[in-house]
Amino acid sequence: MSPSVSTSALFVFTAVLCTDICSQYHFGNDRDPLHQKYSYFSESERLRMKEASRDMFQFGYDGYMRNAFPEDELDPIHCRGRGPDYDNPDNININDVLGDYSLTLVESLSTLAVMGNSSEFKRAVKLVTEYVAFDRNSTVQVFEANIRMLGSLLSAHLIIIDPRQRLGDMSVPDYHDDLLELAHDLASRLLPAFSNTPTGIPYPRVSLTEGVPRNCLNETCTSGAGTLVLEFGVLSRLLKDPVYEAVARRAVTSLWQLRSNVTGLLGNVVNIQTGEWTGTMSGLGAGIDSFFEYLLKAYILFGESSDLKMFNESYESIKFHLRRG
Ligand SMILES: *[C@@H]1O[C@H](CO)[C@@H](O)[C@H](O)[C@H]1NC(C)=O
Ligand SMILES: *[C@@H]1O[C@H](CO)[C@@H](O)[C@H](O)[C@H]1NC(C)=O
Ligand SMILES: *[C@@H]1O[C@H](CO)[C@@H](O)[C@H](O)[C@H]1NC(C)=O
Ligand SMILES: *[C@@H]1O[C@H](CO)[C@@H](O)[C@H](O)[C@H]1NC(C)=O
Ligand SMILES: *[C@@H]1O[C@H](CO)[C@@H](O)[C@H](O)[C@H]1NC(C)=O
């Protein structure tokens, strides 16, 4: 499933990047392998790496803005913009993620703010309100649209309206909850994924204009269905409309009830119509990892003890059953 594809691609990328950086910047005691693996940065190294990260982000961001914006991302081989592959709907590697909504710009918002680049943050917010729209017949994965687009829009919105402005002045003149409205619009287009499934577990994909595509797969990975509650929960609370959090929580509860009554573990792929596990492998890898991540984060964010209880029980089952391989 696609969460696995993108996670592992990211992992490989990060690993390559890290090896590259680590050979450029020698930190710690090179000769002791344990020290090399587990030690932490000294203050001067930390500052150097911070600048290297800033340069790397700037390079990527400027390259995207120069060569690809307003398309979703920069195709690095051809150095030009890339959006959904409308000609080939089966190209899910691309289509699950790219929705013709300037994805990279939206995803960069909170990083610009964290880096303290308030002028570019404000400019980027304006560009998002000018260019990003969801009335596009793109069939995206609910999971990806949620963690990337919805999450980015909501976090930038929260940064803008934060009365304490902890990242510097990120207030935007004439801001009238524009990003929240975009988030609302997107989430309402994802809602059809949740209707008409007897289990309450969502379909993996929706068209932003046409809802669930005909012949949409009835199978979803556990992460795909159970990694929505942070964003949907924040949206519900901001809008004072409980429906988003409710559907996300119902999916989590349904998955949870399908756990094995022998091991307490969940599978990694489930049929959303029947509730049968079609992927019975459990673990902490791609396709299931963020289910657990969101249980804990949801507890930290919203304080509901049922989330912590599910996390604790999962943690115990995993520690007991998982073998190192
Ligand atoms: C903010 O971002 C813009 C656009 O990438 C860049 O030109 C500028 O140097 C950045 N400013 C700071 C202070 O990093
Ligand atoms: C929307 O996209 C789907 C899948 O590519 C296609 O079958 C459908 O005809 C499109 N709808 C419109 C109105 O173009
Ligand atoms: C999904 O399940 C529904 C209801 O059981 C069925 O009508 C549909 O054909 C199934 N879709 C696929 C792609 O198998
Ligand atoms: C566990 O579930 C299976 C299948 O749903 C059922 O047959 C079995 O009786 C259950 N076992 C226990 C100990 O509840
Ligand atoms: C979860 O585990 C933590 C740490 O072991 C413990 O402090 C907490 O009380 C547990 N909470 C629940 C709801 O089980």
**Average confidence score pLDDT of the chain:** 91
Output b/e per residue, 166-185; b: 16+ Cβ within 10 A.
ebeebebeebeebbbebbbe
Best of 90, 205, 218 for a ligand 3 pocket test (most atoms within 8 Å of beta carbon): 218
Would the pLDDT of 5 be above 60?
no
What does DSSP say about strands 73-75 and 80-82: parallel, antiparallel, or unpaired?
Answer: antiparallel
Query: What pLDDT score was predicted for residue 40?
Result: 79
Residue 265: pLDDT band by 50, 70, 90 thresholds? very high
Query: What pLDDT score was predicted for residue 6?
Result: 40
Would the pLDDT of 212 be above 70?
yes
The alpha helices in the chain, defined as continuous H runs, are 2-24, 33-38, 43-67, 92-95, 103-114, 118-131, 142-144, 151-161, 178-190, 222-226, 229-239, 243-257, 289-302, 305-321
Q: Which of 249, 133, 273 is nearest to 189 (CA)?
A: 133
Domains of the chain, CATH where assigned: 7-23+45-321 (1.50.10.10)
pLDDT single digits (tens) 81-134: 999 999 999 999 999 999 999 999 999 999 999 999 999 999 999 999 999 999
- State whether the beta carbon of 296 lies less than 6 angstroms from ligand 5: no
Q: Encoding tokens for residue 99?
A: 């929705």
Q: Please, which residues have CB within 8 angstroms of residue 105's CB and are 6 or more apart in sequence? A: 64, 65, 69, 70, 124, 127, 128, 131, 132
Instruction: Average the pLDDT over each of 13-27, 233-247, 266-280, 288-302 and give the range with the smallest value.
Output: 13-27
pLDDT single digits (tens) 26-54: 554 567 787 777 777 889 999 999 999 99
pLDDT single digits (tens) 195-208: 989 999 999 999 99
CA of 104 to the centre of ligand 5 (A): 38
Average pLDDT score over residue span 207-233: 97
Would the pLDDT of 4 be above 60?
no
Query: What pLDDT score was predicted for residue 54?
Result: 97
Q: Which of 144, 136, 134, 110 is nearest to 124 (CA)?
A: 110
CA of 67 to the centre of ligand 1 (A): 17
Query: What pLDDT score was predicted for residue 325?
Result: 57
CA of 36 to the centre of ligand 2 (A): 53
Q: Please, which residues have CB within 8 angstroms of residue 236's CB and are 6 or more apart in sequence? A: 242, 243, 244, 245, 246
- State whether the beta carbon of 214 lies less than 6 angstroms from ligand 3: no
Query: What pLDDT score was predicted for residue 30?
Result: 61
Q: Which of 290, 280, 153, 292 is nearest to 224 (CA)?
A: 290
- Atom index in ligand 2 nearest the CA of residue 210 equals 1
Query: What pLDDT score was predicted for residue 322?
Result: 87
Query: What pLDDT score was predicted for residue 42?
Result: 87
Residue 304: pLDDT band by 50, 70, 90 thresholds? very high
Query: What pLDDT score was predicted for residue 254?
Result: 98
Between residues 15 and 176, which one has the greater pLDDT?
176
